[in-house]
Amino acid sequence: MVRPLTGWVVRHAVHQAAAWQRQGLALRLSINVSATNLEADDFAERLLSEMAHANLTSDAIELELTESALIGQGRAAASQLETLIAAGIRIAIDDFGTGYSSLSYLHEIPAHVVKIDRCFISELGVNPRTETLVKSMITMAHDLGYSVVAEGVENARAHQLLGSMACDEIQGYYIARPMRADAFETWLKNDCH
């Protein structure tokens, strides 16, 4: 079930990203995929073919995989990642900090972005030890060449603290709640400041 569902999600995401690109919106759409999808020998080929069919440039797509999915991947999955990265697709480590071997494998994972899990972000402004941990994660990720996204930002205090920690991007309800594509376009044109 996972592969057919992901195939449907990827097709729709690629075509939506292409529509936004044709409108002149310079956006990168992140798509969650599972390790199971990477084990399919043709996953990268199908994604790149779908993008070519939609005339979508590779900088418009980012694939998110959990660190557990990226750690200890088989040869087929590693080959799929290599193909996608060579084509210019960005790879993000999702839910960073919740996996079983975060630090020991971080320097080996073929990715561009680290997404710090919301369980850490929700403690910002409440727990000084968590603030120290998040700041260290951001610094370490930057030192290893990753961009950093904080997940689950829900208030101004967390936003301010992450800014002071040089976090590259944030996502969460503080920015906006999930919305349909047409509502997003309206929000982006009128409300996004």
pTM: 0.90
The boundaries of the domain holding residue 82 are 1-67+74-90
Query: Which three-class secondary structure state does DSSP give residue 85?
Result: helix
pLDDT digits (tens, 9 = 90+) for 109-142: 789 999 999 999 999 999 999 999 999 999 999 9
Query: Are residues 81 and 7 located together in one domain of the fold?
Result: yes
Give the chain's domain count. Answer: 2
Query: Are residues 85 and 7 located together in one domain of the fold?
Result: yes
Strand pairing report for 113-116 and 90-96: parallel
**pLDDT (mean) for 46-69:** 92
Query: Are residues 116 and 178 located together in one domain of the fold?
Result: yes
Mention every residue, 6+ apart, whose C-beta is less than 8 A from residue 94.
32, 64, 65, 66, 67, 115, 151
**pLDDT (mean) for 142-148:** 95
- The answer to the question of residue 29 being in a domain is yes
Query: Are residues 128 and 164 located together in one domain of the fold?
Result: yes
Q: With cut-offs at 50, 70 and 90, classify the pLDDT of residue 62.
A: very high
**pLDDT (mean) for 149-170:** 97
- The answer to the question of residue 57 being in a domain is yes
